[in-house]
Copies of this chain bind each other. A is one copy, B any other.
Amino acid sequence: MSRASKTELAVLGAISVQPMSGYAVRAAITETLGHFWSESFGQIYPTIARLEGEGFIERDADGKTSGSTYRLTRAGRRRLVTLLHEPIPPAPPRNGTMLRLFFGGLLGAEACRGILDDARLRAEEQLAALEAIRDEVQAEIATDPDARYRLLTVLAGQHSARAQIAWVEESLELLAM
């Protein structure tokens, strides 16, 4: 995963599902990959321009006057599979919640409990959102076996959110002692 690759991978992946515009790519990433990925227009449009220049995607020759619909070329599909095979180096950790909590002695127990409550709230919201998505994806598996993989990413989110909640509970007990 050397150059210009993570955004490229996300964009190619989105377009591989079905041909769409840059705007729709953004929407697809926000809605469908939203719980583990994000891209902004400022990244997406230049990437699309480059991918088109390199022949990995091409415009649909439909009659629309405004907006372009892009679809993968054969080279684009090969490129996508290649990128998927390359490991993505893990990002250096940067967890603001932990940074603040680490220096909790300077903050006071009150404020720290606030941080923990916030963390729990966010995890609970996420958990609820994933619950719904999970049902959808589970239903898709019947018609599309590849939906299994999508299910895995939802499960990961659920495990992570539940772990977060359990951690908050344990932490609050510890602080109460």
By a beta-carbon cutoff of 8 Å, the part of chain A in contact with chain B is 1, 6, 9-10, 13, 16, 33-38, 80-81, 84-85, 87-107, 111-112, 118, 122, 145-146, 148-153, 155-156, 159-160, 162-164, 166-167, 170-171, 174-175
Contact = CB atoms under 8 A, between A and B. Distances in A.
Q: Please tell me how many copies of the chain the complex holds.
A: 2
A105 B97 CA distance: 35
A137 B138 CA distance: 43
Contacts of A111: 84-85
A104 B148 contact: yes
Contacts of A153: 98, 101-102
A98 B38 CA distance: 12
Given A146-B105, A148-B104, A159-B167, A13 B93 contact: no
Contacts of A34: 93
